[in-house]
Structure 1
Amino acid sequence: MNREFFPLVRMTWPGAEGQLPAQPSLGQRLFRSWILLFGLLPIDYDDLTLVEFEPGRRFLERSVMFSQRQWVHERVVTPTATGCKLTDSVRFIPRLHPLGALQLGLFRLAFRWRHRNLRRLFSRGR
């Protein structure tokens, strides 16, 4: 995740590896991750909770964040003839409803940035 959002934000992880366990406990909070603007300034947290997980193919996260009553993020990776197609779907319920439109715009920009970085990371050497 940190490579996807670099250098805008960084998320903290328990342990040195910064990796999820191979078989995470589904439906239980895995850990609290602090979201750091430019890797330094705490701007939010995510009580990361996976409810479905298919390694290398798909996950469904239903988490609580400081800024969101509910954050639902599904990622699906589908093989294609030339590599893969990555689809992220996000739904959220903001804690402060009047900020919802602003947050939607920020999330759209953030995921565009994220997908651009992923294309760069995984298209090297092709």
Structure 2
Amino acid sequence: MKRTWQFRQSSEIAADSTAVWARVVTPEGINDEMRPWMTMSVPGGAEDVTIDSLEIGRPIGRAWLRLFGVVPYDFDHLSIAELDPGRRFHEESTMISMRRWTHERTVEPIAGDRTRVSDVITFGPRIGLVVAGPLLQRVLAAFFRHRHRRLAAHFR
């Protein structure tokens, strides 16, 4: 039985890559992408943190995922495994629902003041959710398409 799934999402954003990066590494930018479906809290003591300022390989604590920004339903033991500031981050985490969650985001300048944002998500649900893997893949892929639309709308 398959235990790991992956999908990719890539979009062109009408903004300079420096501005896009500055947005996607902040809690405010991340939560704006996720709204209205969910938000993610910042662990206590990490309120002023951005992905750029995290220590590589050191988990920052529990980042609670909240349905509609209100109802906690899961948490992410957030850890940045690799970072190329201004260009790429690679998150490796676990959750209540996921034994493995990997999110790699790349921000690349393209012609003019345009930027390509690409996400590669690899996830492995906990044993009780493995049978739902194909459905989770479709739902999560739709959620990341939503995130990309929200990010693009921010720069319009």
- Please give the TM-score of this superposition, normalised by the length of structure 2: 0.73
Deviation for aligned residue 1:22: 3.9
Gaps of 5+ in 1: none
Structure with more helix by fraction: 2
Letter in 1 for 2:99: R
Match of 2:61 among 12, 15, 31: 31
- The higher-RCO structure (CA 8 Å, 6+ apart) is 2
Aligned match of 1:10: 39
Share of identical aligned residues, percent? 41
Q: Residue deviations 1:72-100, cap 9 Å, x none?
A: 11000010113100000000111021121
Using the TM superposition, name which of 10-19 and 22-31 deviates more: 10-19
Answering whether residue 88 of structure 2 is matched by residue 58 of structure 1, we say: yes
Aligned match of 1:100: 133
For residue 135 of structure 2, give the secondary structure of its aligned residue in structure 1.
helix
Match of 1:49 among 79, 85, 90: 79
Task: Tell me, in whole angstroms, the C-alpha distance in 1 between the residues paired with 2:116 and 2:103.
Answer: 16
Q: RMSD over aligned Cα, in angstroms?
A: 1.6
How many residues were matched structurally? 123
Match of 2:143 among 110, 115, 122: 110
Task: Tell me, in whole angstroms, the C-alpha distance in 1 between the residues paired with 2:46 and 2:31.
Answer: 13
Q: Residue deviations 1:45-104, cap 9 Å, x none?
A: 100010001222100001001110000110000101131000000001110211211211
For residue 30 of structure 1, give the secondary structure of its aligned residue in structure 2.
coil
Gaps of 5+ in 2: 1-29
